[in-house]
Amino acid sequence: MTTVHPTAEPSAGPVQTGPVVLRGRGRNFLAGIRLGDLLAVAPFVLFAVMFLLLPMSYLVMQAFQAPDGSFTLDNLANLGTPKTIDSFLISIRVSGTSALLGALFGLLIALAIIRGKLPEGIRSTVMTFSGVASNFAGIPLAFAFLATLGRLGLLTIILKTVFGFDLYRAGFNLLSFWGLTLTYLYFQIPLMVLIIAPAIDGLKREWSEAASTLGATKWQFWRYVGLPVLWPNLLGTLSLLFANAFGAIATAYALTGSTLNIVPVLLYAQIQGDVLGNRGLGAALALGMVIITALANVIYLVVRTRAERWLK
């Protein structure tokens, strides 16, 4: 240590604790980084590169590659077929509707259990249930809705035999847009409740009291203070719910097989037939999905940055 020119030595800082400091050739590049620190983040970085960043970059690359490896926009252009466009539109509609309704009903439920002065215990019960229901997705959820509202589902039968009301003759079909949306709400609503509840807790009681001493009604409080304060959170959750539904396939697949032409189901079929299919087209389809979920998040980030003026 003493033989080294002092200026080349990294500043140790007050909490120099790690016993091992990297020395030798890489010293300038790795100045100040201790071996222990490197070991701590290495697994995470390696994992992120190998299983998140590389696969994604590889797909993006392939989306712009012709079978011979040259650059092309044909793959993206091939997404322009009516069937693919249609599937994107249906996916966006299902995800958008289920996200919007999920956010709306989730917000209402969260408000009811937090601000509705309901008896003790209801809140924790609802929160626990939300934890379960938000994870009760995929295949079993489809089974549950089939058993309930399918053509031979219990509720369908009871409505028909006891109340003389034929759901399916009235236009309802579980294997349709609204059927899928209704099913998705089963995990969307609880997810909203889980995420928005802490934000509602963050609304101080004094804010509504201050507003009321200044003459505001309950509604005016929500319009000018409550909702604007929750807004970044609401929007963030909305984009999360959207992405959550947009990428979901298991529920739709088990529910409708491939009758409802949503993007993930299309991609699923594409991957299964990958050997024969066009490599670039699958990648382009995947890229399209990521672009849309990313777009939802960008919208959120933009609005959040605008709200950042008052967010610390």
Partner 1 sequence: MRRGQAWAWVVFGLGALYFLLPLIATFIFSLSIRKSGYTFDAYANVLADPRFQSTLGYSLFIGLCTIVVGILIVVPAAYYVRLRAPKLRPIIEFITLLPLIIPAIVLVFGYIRLYNSSSLLPLTSSFVGTGILLTFAYVALGLPYMYRAVDTGLRTIDVQTLTEAANILGANQMTILARVIFPNIIVAVLSGAFLTLAIVIGEFTIASLLNQPAFGVYMQNVGANRAFEPAALAVISFIITWGAMGMIQLLSRFAPKTARKD
Partner 2 sequence: MAEEFLRIEKLVKTFGGNAVVKGVDLGFDKGEFVTLLGPSGCGKTTILRMIAGFERPDSGRIVVEGKDISGLNPNQRKIGMVFQAYALFPNMNVADNIGFGLKIAGMARDQREARVEEMLKLIGLAGYGKRYPFELSGGQQQRVALARALAPSPRMLLLDEPLSALDAKIRVSLREQIREIQRELGITTVFVTHDQEEALSISDRIVVLNAGNVEQFGKPFDIYNRPQTRFVATFVGTLNTLNGTVADAGAKTVTLGGSTVTIPALPATARNGEAVALTMRPEAVSLANGAARDIVLDGRVAEVSFLGSVIRLKVDLGGNAISLDTFNDQRTPPPAHGSQVRVGIASSDVLVLGN
What's the min distance (Å) between Cβ of 5 and partner 1?
A: 26
CA distance 225 to 46: 45
Q: Is 222 a residue that touches partner 1 (CB under 8 A)?
A: no
With CB under 8 A as the rule, give the number of residues binding partner 1: 88
Residues 93-122 that bind partner 1 (CB under 8 A): 105, 108-109, 111-113, 115-118, 122
Q: Is 219 a residue that touches partner 2 (CB under 8 A)?
A: no
Q: Are 254 and 139 in contact (CB under 8 A)?
A: yes
| Closest CB to partner 2 among residues 51, 207 | 207
What's the min distance (Å) between Cβ of 131 and partner 2?
A: 29
What's the min distance (Å) between Cβ of 112 and partner 2?
A: 21
Angle between helices 154-161 and 139-149 in degrees, nearest 10 = 10
Q: Is 217 a residue that touches partner 2 (CB under 8 A)?
A: yes
Q: Which stretch binds partner 1 (CB under 8 A): 2-10, 163-171, 197-205, 262-270?
A: 262-270
Residues 223-262 that bind partner 2 (CB under 8 A): 224-225, 228-229
Residues that bind partner 2 (CB under 8 A): 204, 206-207, 209-217, 220, 224-225, 228-229, 307, 309-312
